[in-house]
């Protein structure tokens, strides 16, 4: 340090603590503490810490530090150091050992017997939970290293729930506290998670499980032990058979399901936003009377789907070719205000034309106040528009957003603009690689043919 004083002394400790909280390598944090008294003092005020295994291993390789502490031990040491000020702990081993370029990925039948990056095992959880930081942590996110985690059933969920239930004074702490966790937000990724011994966590309001195998095939344990969830994200969760989400306080849900579960049930009377991605379940039941926003990606809607209870639905996004089934179920007879349509990546304009009659499609769009046609849907819509026989009918459209493909010519979009009510606001997004002549031609025709429409022009990529 300079004899003239620490130049960082002029900065508020809270600002320095926020900067340190963005450093992802424990070694870099230690170097900052040694380099500046101001940073040393601020380090004890860090409320958020994110450690990345790739950063740690890369640093050790560059500096030639053999025998450095295992990553999960480092996370425990840092939690002990920061103690009572730590509120959010994020541990990321998903990038593998070393740089992403040489990270090891599991092929079929391949795995690692080492456990230095296995962060969802009981021992790894205890290293940070059983510290001075444990009782004050509010958010924990753990991304495990799949080659080490894929073949080991991890106790992270039941152990964390056990810590949340404890209320016994711990004499190891120098302040009056308890060993119990008070988490409100938990995220686990890349793991095989056991639910044996899982206890209720009534304080937890946000749960994210991503790319995990969960030993709870019907989600019975999840429903029972997380009764106060407001936000639930289940993304790529395997091990499910007939999953049922039954959470009375749930408000937001993002659920991406594989093609294995044949029955999907959501019973959530207070749910207002649902993003559901599934394939073709035999049974789909949405008992969500408060749901106002639904983003649905589905290959095929079952004839037995029960969605009559969507009495509050106003905002709908559909990504599917099965519009002939989805429109009557989710659009017809409802007060849909905003509709966004997209197609699967593999779809073509011929698929869309064969999936739904052009005139029926146009009439459905005309019944909505705000219509957003996403890039793939806009690009493949041209054939259907060209074959529309009637566009002279009453329209409710007040706002329209459409993406113009790179080589689009203006006349192919005219039937779409004809359904826009007078004084409608239309946003046209040109592809960034489209030539100026195409843009100028579209703009010229639109302004001449539809002078009453309020036009906005921009680009998309």
Q: Cα 437–439–443 angle (5° rounding)?
A: 115
Sign of CA dihedral 349, 275, 217, 113: positive
Beta-sheet pairing, 283-287 with 263-267: parallel
Q: pLDDT of 175-218, one tens digit each? A: 344 456 889 999 999 999 999 999 999 999 999 999 999 999 99
How far is Cα 45 from Cα 295, in angstroms, rounded to an integer? 40
Q: Quick one: DSSP state of residue 195?
A: -
Q: pLDDT of 94-117, one tens digit each? A: 854 333 233 344 444 457 888 889
Q: Cβ–Cβ contacts within 10 Å for residue 394, how many? A: 9
- pLDDT of the residue at 420: 87
Q: pLDDT of 248-269, one tens digit each? A: 999 999 999 988 899 999 999 9
Structure tokens given for 47: 């409320």
- pLDDT of the residue at 128: 94
Q: Which residues of 193-216 are buried (b: 16+ CB within 10 A; e: fewer)?
A: bbbeebbebeebbbbbbbbbbbeb
Structure tokens given for 403: 């993406």
Residues 6+ apart with CB under 8 A from 7: none
Higher-confidence residue of 380 and 158: namely 158
Rg of the chain over all Cα atoms, to the nearest angstrom: 27
Q: Are 208 and 161 in contact (CB under 8 A)?
A: no
- pLDDT of the residue at 61: 52
List the domains of the chain with CATH numbers: 354-461 (3.40.50)
Mean pLDDT, rounded, of the chain: 86
Q: pLDDT of 76-93, one tens digit each? A: 988 888 888 889 999 999
Range from 94-108, 228-242, 387-401 carrying the lowest mean pLDDT: 94-108
| Residue 371 three-state SS | strand
How far is Cα 413 from Cα 402, in angstroms, rounded to an integer? 9
| pTM, to two decimals | 0.86
Q: Which residues of 341-352 are buried (b: 16+ CB within 10 A; e: fewer)?
A: bbbeeebebeeb
């Amino acid at each position: 340090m300079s004899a003239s004083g620490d130049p960082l002394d002029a900065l508020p400790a809270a600002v320095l603590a926020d900067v340190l909280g963005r450093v992802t390598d424990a070694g870099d944090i230690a170097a900052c503490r040694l380099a500046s008294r101001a940073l040393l003092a601020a380090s004890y005020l860090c409320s958020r810490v994110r450690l990345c295994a790739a950063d740690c291993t890369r640093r050790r390789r560059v500096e030639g530090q053999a025998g450095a502490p295992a990553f999960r031990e480092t996370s425990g040491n840092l939690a002990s150091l920061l103690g009572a000020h730590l509120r959010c702990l994020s541990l990321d081993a998903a990038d593998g050992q070393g740089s992403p370029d040489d990270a090891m990925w599991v092929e079929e039948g391949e795995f690692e017997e080492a456990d230095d990056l296995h962060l969802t095992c009981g021992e790894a959880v205890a290293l940070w939970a059983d510290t001075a930081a444990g009782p004050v942590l509010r958010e924990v996110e753990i991304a495990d290293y799949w080659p080490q985690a894929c073949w080991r059933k991890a106790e992270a969920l039941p152990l964390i729930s056990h810590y949340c239930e404890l209320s016994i004074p711990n004499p190891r702490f120098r302040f009056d506290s308890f060993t119990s966790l008070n988490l409100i937000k938990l995220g686990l990724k890349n793991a095989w998670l056991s639910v044996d011994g899982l206890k209720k966590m009534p304080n937890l309001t946000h749960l994210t499980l991503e790319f995990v195998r969960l030993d709870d095939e019907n989600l019975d344990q999840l429903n029972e032990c997380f009764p106060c969830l407001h936000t639930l994200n289940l993304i790529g969760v395997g091990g499910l058979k007939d999953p049922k989400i039954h959470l009375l306080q749930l408000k937001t849900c993002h659920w991406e399901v594989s093609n294995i579960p044949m029955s999907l049930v959501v019973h959530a009377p207070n749910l207002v936003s649902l993003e559901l991605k599934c394939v073709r379940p035999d049974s789909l039941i949405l008992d969500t009377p408060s749901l106002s926003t639904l983003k649905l990606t589905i290959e095929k809607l079952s004839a037995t789907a029960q969605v009559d209870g969507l009495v509050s639905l106003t905002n709908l996004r559909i990504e599917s070719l099965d519009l002939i089934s989805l429109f009557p179920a989710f659009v017809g007879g409802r007060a849909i205000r905003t509709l966004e349509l997209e197609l699967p990546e593999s779809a073509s304009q011929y698929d869309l034309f064969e999936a739904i009659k052009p005139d029926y499609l146009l009439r459905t769009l005309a019944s909505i106040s705000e219509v957003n046609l996403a890039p793939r849907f806009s690009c493949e819509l041209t054939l259907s528009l060209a074959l529309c026989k009637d566009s002279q009918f009453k329209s409710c459209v007040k706002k329209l957003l459409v993406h113009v493909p790179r080589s689009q010519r203006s006349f192919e979009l005219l039937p779409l603009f004809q359904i826009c009510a007078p004084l409608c606001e239309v946003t046209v997004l040109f592809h960034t690689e489209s030539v100026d002549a195409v843009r100028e031609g579209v703009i010229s025709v639109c302004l001449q043919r539809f002078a009453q429409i309020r036009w906005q022009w921009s680009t998309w990529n």
